[in-house]
Structure 1
Amino acid sequence: MQARCPALFISAMASGQGKTTVTAALARYHRNQGRKVRVFKTGPDYLDPQILQIASGAPVEPLDLWMAGEEYCRDQLYRAAREADLILIEGAMGLLDGEPSSADLAARFNLPVAVVINAKGMAQTTAAVAYGLANYRRDFQCVGIIANALGSERHLSLIAESLPSQVPLLAGIFRDDAIALPERHLGLVQPYEQQGLEQRLDQAAAAIAHTPLANLPATATFKPALLPAVRPMLAGARIAVARDAAFSFIYAANLRLLQEMGAEVLFFSPLEDSEPPPADALWLPGGYPELHAERLSANQAMKAALKRFFMDGRPMLAECGGMLYAQETLTDQQDRIFAMAGLIPGAGEMRAKRGCQGMQTAPLPEGDVRAHAHHHSRSHGTLPPIAYGRRQRHPAPGEVIVRSKGLTATYLHLFFPSNPGAVANLFRPGPTEV
């Protein structure tokens, strides 16, 4: 049985155009009108969804044809359409960037697209860019543009007058520090670190209140997916998950899958607690350990408890920031060196320039799991790898994957629903039926 719901895909000409601000403004505006809004984010991202969740009042899930698969994306959209009054999808990078791109996702599910263009430093040229993006491909519908970072009413009118009729102006948003979202390395600053975020979101919503974006977009039709039922492969397992200011890069889909497979998920804080809860397995996800390295280093009780867990040989997964914490030392952005948990050899250090990023497959002994990398650090003196990540479209070896006792450590962030059987095997000792 099909489901129908108004939907809009928010894309852009490039990164840094203001997609998240616009998507958050839309979510907050329609939420303020009493509508139930569901928001999705294209591709791997932990930071934008945190902002969008605050704006919409509902969890934000990733949609990515490569990382999650077409049927997973179809299932998420169908479920949302059955309960929501509006579906918003924020794209990644530019509309046509990547394989698959935001345009591919929009075309696959027949989603209308609005393109955000930062018009600072140009006027009529905005129309040429808009026309090119709308007409470069014919398999999706561009319903208009949102001109961002405008300097004046005259700037707005120059753009509006130059646009072709088939690419209308949906909104013009003026430059305003009061609605800008603060950034740092890796992306946006997390909501709990910001002051006045609610006010920013309400002001952003007010900026579109008298534009066509205040109206609900066209209704889209969504079909149910053909996904296999999740089996209870982790029935009775207790999995401790680090979650605090230092470790917050966690997909809700990953937690949900662990629970659907029968696991009990127990959260703990390496910053605040003295030990993790009693558990059969443990997950140290990514985050910002470099911002909290001094406190992590000083929590000797937690480090000792993790060392006992490790020495017992119980399953552990350490991803990116979690791997930095599992190693011996971490050098922060001020070149200060702190002792970490010391579960495995290795010295992590932050870098001023970007590290690796992009989609990769993690070829674990338990099976291939889709994943991605995004970090501004590097590690030295680590264990010999048991495997390297396979890049999506490049033959060079990807991120190293190391294993010691029950610990698997890598810079890769795994998307668990891409291979539930492999994840079940990863989090429990001994063979698991797949």
Structure 2
Amino acid sequence: MSSANSCPALMVTAPSSGSGKTTVTAALARHFVRQGKVVQVFKVGPDFIDPMILEVASGQPVYQLDLWMVGKKQCQKMLFDAASAADLILIEGVMGLFDGSPNSADLSKEFGIPILAVIDGSAMAQTFGALVHGMVNYSPELSFYGVIANKIAGEYHAKLVLDSIQECALKNHFFSRDMAQSLPERHLGLMQPSELTDITERLDLAANQVAQSEFAALPPAVKFHAPKWAASERDETANALLNKRIIIAKDAAFGFLYHANVNMLIRAGAIVIYTSPLCDKALPDGDALYLPGGYPEVYAERLSQNKHYIASVKRFADSGKPVLAECGGMLYLLDDLEAESTHFSMCGVLTGTAKMHTRLSAVGQQGVTIAANKAHFALRGHSFHYSSANIALEPIARSLYHPSLREGEYIYHGGSVLASYMHWYFDSCPAFFIHFFNQTLQLEHHDQAN
């Protein structure tokens, strides 16, 4: 097997959030898919909603790349594998290019991926060139491929903006300010594609702008090398959950699910069964239940009215089978959820209540170390929510933000339920989740992250 694969690749990034990275990445993916190319898209950092849009545009699952949460070698492996199968690799950055630790620039440097900068030019003219100059020269190790001026009013505005760029070698183009191609947002980010009946039309309009630009041709190839694994790093998940039937909630209310988490379960031999708390009458038969995050507050009335399904969740938890709940999944297990001054009855599996707020309550990557089975399991993930919860359980651990080490989310364990606001990345510690779903996890005492 070759130790290196080559494939055209770009990192799509910006000076800040809200610049239009997702729109441009989706437009590029859609354009090349329409040319018959296989496009593999990745997203830097923890994110659920942007990847949903990018999956519709590319027709392929979107995975996370993050040097801390995912790890350098896992990132390297995913890029190496993608380069052998895809005609183009696109990576959407997170926040601004240099924001966070690690950040999009770090990933670009690590793997030698050229950068396409997307800059919102809606409220500027020649100052656009100064921003480009600053991004290009801030970190000389980075390689810039081009720049797209986004949200431009018209041809004259585009000329003012693009003529201000001093770096003549950069490819450039502009995206017009067109609401028909923009992607609607709400409190946790973009709306989910399943909620947009015209998502295909929006993506096609955006792709049309790529087709008329210098970016219509594939970028140069990048060489991606296979990682070298030590004996201690070998994957030991094979058959660890053989024929274990794991039920996963997945619908418009519970859609915040990493493909990598599902893949880990399948790699371990589990049988994954999806269920919809919105539409199904009851839980299907299974050995364990996984309730990921999502928008239970948006669909609270429908969730609370599905009484037979709620009853089946309570019976499942009462049976002693393992239940893993993250963020919105945890809120669903509580007694009550207050959204827009209205109280909605939830499952009542965990004694407690939650309330939605108009301001962000928590955001950021986090790690937690949990003592169990006479060992310490180090888990990584993140949180992002607009709610607060009052839960009548003593926490077994509390996460710490990365890299600040500020205190983060509580981890709760009650009966067979493990719950937290934290969204876990299973491959950060597969052994922990294998023990949990196998019901061989013996929790010991309160601990924190490192």
Same fold flag (TM > 0.5)? yes
Equivalent position of 1:370 in the other structure: 380
Match of residue 338 from structure 1: 344
CA distance in 2, matches of 1:295, 1:262: 34
Partner of 1:297: 304
Shift of 1:150: 0.9
Answering whether residue 353 of structure 2 is matched by residue 347 of structure 1, we say yes
Distance in 2 between residues matched to 1:196 and 1:313, nearest whole Å: 44
Q: Does 1:356 align with 2:374?
A: no
Q: Cα deviations across residues 329-353 of structure 1 (Å, max 9, x unaligned)? A: 0011x21101100111111111011
Q: Which moved more, 1:318-327 or 1:261-270?
A: 261-270
Q: How far apart are residue 123 of structure 1 and its match?
A: 1.1
Mapped contact 2:145–2:171 kept (Cα < 8 A): no
Q: Structure 1, residues 108-142: CA drift from partner, whole Å, max 9, x if none?
A: 00000011000111111111111111111122201
Structure 1 residue matching 2:70: 3-state secondary structure: coil
Whole-angstrom CA distance in 2 between matches of 1:95 and 1:131: 14
2:133–2:167 Cα contact (<8 Å) kept: no
Q: Work out the CA distance in 2 between the residues paired with 1:29 and 1:129.
A: 27
**Alpha carbons of 1:354 and 1:167: their partners in 2 closer, same or farther (altered >3 Å)?**
farther
* Post-superposition offset of 1:48: 0.5
State the SS of the aligned residue for 1:17: coil
Which one of the candidate residues 129, 133, 136 is aligned to 1:134? 136
Quote the Cα distance in structure 2 between the aligned partners of 1:223 and 1:166: 31
Q: Say yes or no: does 1:380 pair with 2:390.
A: yes
Q: Which ranges of 4 or more aligned residues in structure 1 deviate by more than 3 Å?
A: none
Distance 2:217 2:126 in 1: 26
Instruction: Quote the offset at 1:166 in angstroms.
Output: 4.7
How far apart are residue 395 of structure 1 and its match?
3.5
CA distance 1:113–1:138, change in 2 (3 Å): same
Matching residue's letter, 1:72: Q
Which amino acid in the other structure matches residue 407 of structure 2?
A: P
Partner of 2:146: 144
Which residue of structure 2 lines up, in the alignment, with residue 121 of structure 1? Answer: 123
Which residue of structure 2 aligns with residue 273 of structure 1? 280
- Matches of residues 44-55 of structure 1 in structure 2 within 5 Å? 44-55=46-57
CA positional deviation for 1:244:
1.2
- Larger mean CA deviation between 269-278 and 5-14 belongs to 269-278
Alpha-carbon distance in 2 for matches of 1:217, 1:376 = 39
Partner amino acid for 2:414?
Answer: S
Q: What is the distance in 2 between the residues matched to 1:382 and 1:369?
A: 24
Offset of 1:212 from its aligned partner?
Answer: 1.0
State the AA in 1 paired with 2:193. P
| Paired residues of 1:360 and 1:390 also in contact (CA < 8 A) | yes
Partner of 2:103: 101
Structure 2 counterpart of 1:10, from 5, 9, 12: 12
1:154-183 Cα deviation digits (max 9, x unpaired): 111122222113562421111011110000
| Structure 1 unaligned blocks of 5 or more | none
Residue by residue over 1:237-294, the C-alpha shift from the partner in whole angstroms, topping out at 9 and shown as x without a partner, is 1111111111111111100110101111111111222322221111011011111111
SS of residue paired to 2:226: coil
Given residue 148 of structure 1, which amino acid in structure 2 is its aligned partner? N
Q: CA deviation at 1:381?
A: 3.9
Asked whether the 8 Å contact 1:233–1:421 carries over to 2, the reply is no
The answer as to whether partners of 1:39 and 1:61 remain within 8 angstroms in 2 is yes
Q: Secondary structure of the equivalent of 2:211?
A: coil
TM-score normalised by the chain length of structure 2: 0.93
Aligned to 1:308, the other structure's residue is in SS state helix
Structure 1 residue aligned with 2:293: 286
Inter-partner Cα distance in structure 1 for 2:154 and 2:286? 59
Map of 1:236 onto structure 2? 243
> What SS does the aligned partner of 2:119 have?
strand
Query: Taking structure 1 as the reference length, what is the TM-score of the superposition?
Result: 0.97
Give RMSD over aligned pairs: 1.3
1:73 matched residue in structure 2: 75
Q: Aligned with 1:143: secondary structure? A: strand
What are the superposed Cα offsets for residues 372-428 of structure 1, whole Å, 9 maximum, x if unpaired? 000111112442211111111223321011100110010000011111111111212
- Secondary structure of 1:291 counterpart: coil
Contact 2:242 2:268 in 1 (8 A): yes
Does the aligned pair in 1 maintain the 2:70–2:427 contact within 8 Å?
yes
Corresponding residue SS for 2:364 = strand
Q: Indicate if the aligned counterparts of 2:8 and 2:221 stay in contact, CA closer than 8 A.
A: yes
Q: Which piece of structure 1 moves more, 21-30 or 296-305? A: 296-305
Cα–Cα, structure 1 residues 167 and 365, in superposed 2: closer, same or farther, change >3 Å?
Answer: farther
CA contact (8 A) 2:162 2:173 kept: no
Structure 2 equivalent of residue 183 of structure 1? 185
The residue aligned with 1:28 is: 30
Please point out which of 421, 424, 433 is paired with 2:434. Answer: 424
Distance of aligned partners of 1:316 and 1:381 in 2 relative to their CA distance in 1, 3 Å threshold: closer
Q: Number of aligned pairs?
A: 431
5+ residue gaps, structure 2: 443-450
Q: Quick one: which amino acid aligns to residue 149 of structure 2?
A: A
Identity %: 43
8 Å contact kept, 2:7–2:86 = yes
Matched to 2:334, the amino acid is Q
Kindly indicate whether the alpha-carbon contact (under 8 Å) linking 2:300 and 2:337 is maintained by their aligned counterparts in 1: yes
Query: Contact 2:144 / 2:170 at 8 angstroms: preserved in 1?
Result: no
Deviations 1:187-212 (A, max 9, x none): 10001111211011111011121211
Measure the CA separation in 1 of the matches of 2:132 and 2:424. 36
Task: Give the whole-Å Cα distance in 2 for the aligned partners of 1:352 and 1:167.
Answer: 45
Please point out which of 141, 159, 162 is paired with 2:161: 159
Amino acid at match of 1:276: L
Which is worse superposed, 82-91 or 417-426? Answer: 417-426
Q: Distance in 2 between matches of 1:169 and 1:17?
A: 18
CA distance in 2, matches of 1:152, 1:297: 48
Contact 2:244 / 2:270 at 8 angstroms: preserved in 1?
Answer: yes
Could you tell me how far apart the structure 1 residues matched to 2:203 and 2:147 are? Answer: 21
